[in-house]
Amino acid sequence: MNVLTRTARWTGGAYLALAVLGGLGFLLVRPLAAADPGYARLGIALELGVVVTQALAAVGFFALFRRDRPVEAFAVATFGMGNAVAVLGSAAMLTAALAVSSDPGLAAGADSAALLRLVADAFWTVGAVFFGLWLIPMGWFAVATGRMPRTLGWILVAGGVGYVVNAVLSAALPGTAAPIADLLVIPATAGELWMIGYLLVVGIRRSHSPRTAARLAEAAAR
């Protein structure tokens, strides 16, 4: 197994852990956290796990892409770290909410905790911009290099754009655009699952000759 294949496998592992921790924390634990301190602590731990795995995946993609497409490598790493910082902000708000709600000396503790949880939700809403943005250069790498299936690349690009639009609609028109916003993230979900599976099972294709790579880049730019 060569170095790039090993890098692809651990990047896929980090991406899989990110997906699992994010799903457990945001979809299952988070709705229960407001009423139960135990779930609140578990939710904070899961969000910090998301931060760590997101950062590891961002570094992994940078290492995987930098030789062939340094701009895409830098973009994926930067946007991935941006998303990690957004989730870190949410975890900080939830940590503060738990501390405030547990302090009997704060008369307005419940109201303050609710406000902090609302801010934590807002971090996830607007932070989705970064999660959408990191999919676009990730997909473009596959399209331009042929190191991964080009169809996968186009799905990731479309999913990234959809994720960004979803974030804008969710923040600017909360509730009113929910049905449309939910549809926009379907390509992203399909592309991410495919990418995780591809990294873990296949890794990355062998590089093309410079002439073939140039033709692929030219075709992608049309």
How far apart are the C-alpha atoms of 190 and 17, rounded to whole Å? Answer: 16
93 vs 209, higher pLDDT: 93
User: Residue 174: what pLDDT?
Assistant: 80
pLDDT per position as a tens digit, 1-54? 688 999 999 999 999 999 999 999 988 999 898 889 999 999 999 999 999 999
How far apart are the C-alpha atoms of 197 and 155, rounded to whole Å? Answer: 15
Token duo for residue 63: 């290492």
User: Residue 27: what pLDDT?
Assistant: 87
Q: Where are the domains of the chain?
A: 3-221
Angle at alpha carbon of residue 106, lines to 104 and 112, rounded to 5°: 120
How far apart are the C-alpha atoms of 46 and 10, rounded to whole Å? Answer: 20
Q: Counting beta carbons within 10 angstroms of the beta carbon of residue 211, is it exposed (0 to 12), middle (13 to 18) or buried (19 or more)?
A: exposed
pLDDT per position as a tens digit, 41-92? 999 999 999 999 999 999 999 999 999 999 999 999 999 999 999 999 999 9
